[in-house]
Amino acid sequence: MTLKLPKIIGHRGVRGYAPENTLVGFHTAADMGMTWVEFDVKLTKDGIPIVFHDDNFKRITGLDADVKDHSYEDIAEMDAGRHFGESFIGEPIPTLENVLDVCIDRGMNVNIEIKPCAGREVETAEVVLDEASRIWPEDMQPPLISSFKYPCLETAFDMAPNWPRGFLINESEELDENWRKMLEYLRPSTINFNGNAATDEQIHEYLEYDLPLLSYTINDAGLAADLFHMGVHGVFSDYPDLIEDIL
């Protein structure tokens, strides 16, 4: 199946308009006309895949505790909406199954970023691939599986070779000197890079691989226009409506 990508992908749902990585956020993305959304997946202490970005709950829930130390039963009681606004109080941290069901129901394709806690790279990837392959319908384009962690992408390559993979690069940190070798070994379908930190030289180097480039996280229309002009295929955005204005 040919990978069909949009110009704009909602980041963690639509993080600018609803609490990130929540069901209300994905419904909001669909209501805004998003055809693709991106989200992060981690494992709870008891191995349940949840849609959550950080290793620690504090930024989102106010509780200074690590994801790896809590069961899903504990996490299900946490509030992932209060920090965003009173109208979102009580919004739970969803499971991967919860989110996939919403995206399927709303007709949105997905980029699943595997975001493992340290030491759980292969385990997280295996659980995510098992769960997603069980739920995702065959008549929809397969999820794009991405990760900064090479073992996660390698596991995805082994378990679901026909599903597209996104090779994530973070130019705001020191680049792994082996990234070029790993990119060629993992045979990704896209290169996902930090458009706020990458230099023109780096972007031109990525373009040489003749893969679609997806840039995160772009909330400035002028920067998005520059990236599109350079040959970047699409951007992840918290405010997709701002980027749509330039298309």
| Domains of the chain by residue range | 8-244
Is the domain covering 8-244 a CATH 3.90.550.10 domain? no
Q: Quick one: which of 79, 107, 104, 105 has its CA closest to 22? A: 79
DSSP secondary structure letter of residue 67: G
Cβ proximity of 36 and 6 under 8 Å: yes
- Using CA atoms of 168, 54, 122, 212 in order, give the dihedral in degrees to the nearest 10: -20
Contact 39, 12 (CB under 8 A): yes
Let me know the angle formed at the C-alpha of 193 by 189 and 194, rounded to the nearest 5 degrees: 165
Q: Which amino acid is at 30?
A: A
Q: Which residues contact 107 (CB under 8 A, 6 or more apart)?
A: 30, 35
Per-residue 3-state assignment (H helix, E strand, C coil) for 115-130 = CCCCCCHHHHHHHHHH
Instruction: List residues with catalytic annotation.
Output: 11, 53
64 burial type by CB count under 10 A (0-12 exposed, 13-18 middle, 19+ buried) = exposed
Measured distance CA(154)–CA(137) in Å, rounded: 23
Tokens found for residue 58: 């504090």
Q: Are 102 and 39 in contact (CB under 8 A)?
A: no
pLDDT tens for the chain, 247 residues long, are: 579 999 999 999 999 999 999 999 999 999 999 999 999 999 999 999 999 999 999 999 999 999 999 999 999 999 999 999 999 999 999 999 999 999 999 999 999 999 999 999 999 999 999 999 999 999 999 999 999 999 999 999 999 999 999 999 999 888 888 999 999 999 999 999 999 999 999 999 999 999 999 999 999 999 999 999 999 999 999 999 999 988 8
